[in-house]
Amino acid sequence: MSLPVPQPGILEIAAYVGGESKVEGVSRVMKLSSNESPLGPSPRAQDAYRTVTAELHRYPDGGATELRKAIAARYGLDAARIICGCGSDELIGLLVNAYAAPGDEVLFSRHGFLMYDIYARSAGAVPVRVDETALTVDVDALLGGVTAKTRIVFVTNPGNPTGTYISAAELRRLRDGLREDILLVIDAAYAEYVDRNDYSNGLELVQETENTVMLRTFSKIFGLGGARVGWGYFPVGIADVINRIRSPFNVTAPSQAAATAAIRDVEFTTLAKAHNDYWLPWLKEKLTALGLTTTDSVANFVLARFSGTAGKDAAAADAFLKARGIIVRRVASYGLGDCLRITIGLAEENEAVVAALKDFLES
Ligand SMILES: *Cc1c(COP(=O)(O)O)cnc(C)c1O
């Protein structure tokens, strides 16, 4: 007799650890560790969430019809090709399970989102990472990493935890260089924050090809991380596959209501964007003035690199910030042990993090 044994690969997974939210002995913390919107959810989204509570005995609309229509209306898309998920995490998992078999390869770049690795292993597939150049996705490296076994390529654009992006032309060059049977998944979780005219969320590639998917989320600029809603735009054939395997009621009724109200509240999203537009360059500039190196982030966080000097490194900075109740994100699990990722917060939070780092570096 032996105990149940999980599928090969599963015991090699290091479970995902989210950004911390508590500090021992500190009652009021500033949480800048999970790229959440400092403005929180739209008041209209909160109201919509509450209106559903008396109906919680009812199953949700399994097709998320209103929500898909609202997303389609906002971005000029075909609602039939949108699928919503319990966060975009769920959609990443569904895509990997549908298209990568044991032994197949799932390709992404060095600092790609950890969930690609976790879902690949859980499907028995092999996660393959290729190098980035200057903390930015390198299209040639990705193309060079393709083998006969490659089934899926993930690109986070802009990247997390780097904040950098590749241009629409580079994204297209990647698609053009991949075999037709390879699924390209463009994870554009931070797309709403980007303000560069050579950036694209990849929508045109989804429209022009039958093997490219774009993923988006309500967890970032829409401030609904706790509601767990993501969505993707799919070619018809791939949408059909994912709709066959997803759980039928994967987005809860209150979450559908909140997300529908959030995407319709254009004014609130504009406020969240304007806040980021002001504080992102502000934080980069202040950190640079303190002698730290930052990437050219176009998202809602900054990646700051610390020197290797004992007592002044990223681990020491993290401990110093924590003692002041400021929680940022260590990114050693992404191979960036000398960096901290700092989410753009409220004005006083951004000011507090800069003041604390100044004290840390000058002490
Ligand atoms: C935050 C984030 C997501 C979104 O995850 P959800 O499951 O929708 O909360 C997806 N991809 C990346 C790279 C992210 O940083």
Per-residue confidence (pLDDT) for residue 198, from 0 to 100: 98
DSSP 11: G
DSSP run (H or E) holding 334: none
Per-residue confidence (pLDDT) for residue 253, from 0 to 100: 98
Measured between alpha carbons, how far is 257 from 329 in angstroms, rounded to an integer?
31
For ligand 1, is residue 295 a contact (CB within 6 Å)? Answer: no
Per-residue confidence (pLDDT) for residue 15, from 0 to 100: 84
At 167, is the secondary structure helix, strand, or coil? coil
- CA angle (19, 137, 111) in 5-degree steps: 30
Q: Whose CA is nearest to atom 11 of ligand 1?
A: 189
Per-residue confidence (pLDDT) for residue 139, from 0 to 100: 98
The amino acid occupying position 352 is A
- How close is the Cα of 337 to the center of ligand 1, in Å? 21
Ligand 1 pocket test: pick from 187, 250, 303 the residue with the most ligand atoms within 8 Å of its Cβ: 187
User: Phi, psi (5° rounding) for residue 343?
Assistant: -75, 140
Ligand 1 pocket test: pick from 88, 111, 137 the residue with the most ligand atoms within 8 Å of its Cβ: 88
Measured between alpha carbons, how far is 93 from 225 in angstroms, rounded to an integer?
18
User: Taking a C-beta distance cutoff of 8 angstroms, is the pair 124, 102 a contact?
Assistant: yes
- How close is the Cα of 146 to the center of ligand 1, in Å? 25
Give the burial string for 179-194 (b: 16+ CB within 10 Å, else e): eeebbbbbbbbbbbbb
User: Phi, psi (5° rounding) for residue 208?
Assistant: -90, -15
Long-range contacts formed by 347-356: CB under 8 A, 24+ apart: 347/279, 349/30, 349/32, 349/38, 350/279, 350/282, 350/283, 352/30, 352/324, 352/326, 353/30, 353/32, 353/283, 353/321, 353/326, 353/328, 354/283, 354/286, 354/287, 354/290, 356/320, 356/321, 356/324, 356/326
Measured between alpha carbons, how far is 292 from 276 in angstroms, rounded to an integer?
20
- How close is the Cα of 216 to the center of ligand 1, in Å? 8
User: Phi, psi (5° rounding) for residue 126?
Assistant: -110, 115
* pLDDT tens over the chain, length 363 residues: 799 998 888 898 888 887 777 777 777 899 999 999 999 999 999 999 999 999 999 999 999 999 999 999 999 999 999 999 999 999 999 999 999 999 999 999 999 889 999 999 999 999 999 999 999 999 999 999 999 999 999 999 999 999 999 999 999 999 999 999 999 999 999 999 999 999 999 999 999 999 999 999 999 999 999 999 999 999 999 999 999 999 999 999 999 999 999 999 999 999 999 999 999 999 999 999 999 999 999 999 999 999 988 899 999 999 999 999 999 999 998 899 999 999 999 999 999 999 999 999 998
Per-residue confidence (pLDDT) for residue 14, from 0 to 100: 85
At 33, is the secondary structure helix, strand, or coil? coil
Per-residue confidence (pLDDT) for residue 291, from 0 to 100: 95
What Rg do the C-alpha atoms of the chain give, in angstroms?
21
Per-residue confidence (pLDDT) for residue 209, from 0 to 100: 97
Closest CA to 155 of 142, 140, 145: 142
Per-residue confidence (pLDDT) for residue 101, from 0 to 100: 96
At 182, is the secondary structure helix, strand, or coil? coil
DSSP 335: T
DSSP codes of every residue in 251-305: S-HHHHHHHHHHHH-HHHHHHHHHHHHHHHHHHHHHHHHTT-EE----SSEEEEE
- Please report the domains of the chain, with CATH numbers, ordered by start residue: 10-31+267-362 (3.90.1150.10), 43-265 (3.40.640.10)
Which ranges of the chain does DSSP label H, i.e. alpha helix? 43-51, 65-75, 87-99, 114-122, 139-144, 168-177, 203-208, 236-245, 253-264, 266-289, 314-323, 347-362
At 152, is the secondary structure helix, strand, or coil? strand
Measured between alpha carbons, how far is 131 from 148 in angstroms, rounded to an integer?
19
Residue 230 CB neighbour total at 10 angstroms = 24
Give the burial string for 145-165 (b: 16+ CB within 10 Å, else e): bbeeebbbbbbbbbbbbbbbb
DSSP 160: T
Strand partners for 329: 341
- How close is the Cα of 220 to the center of ligand 1, in Å? 8
To the nearest 10 degrees (0 to 180), the angle between helices 253-264 and 266-289 is 80
For ligand 1, is residue 170 a contact (CB within 6 Å)? Answer: no
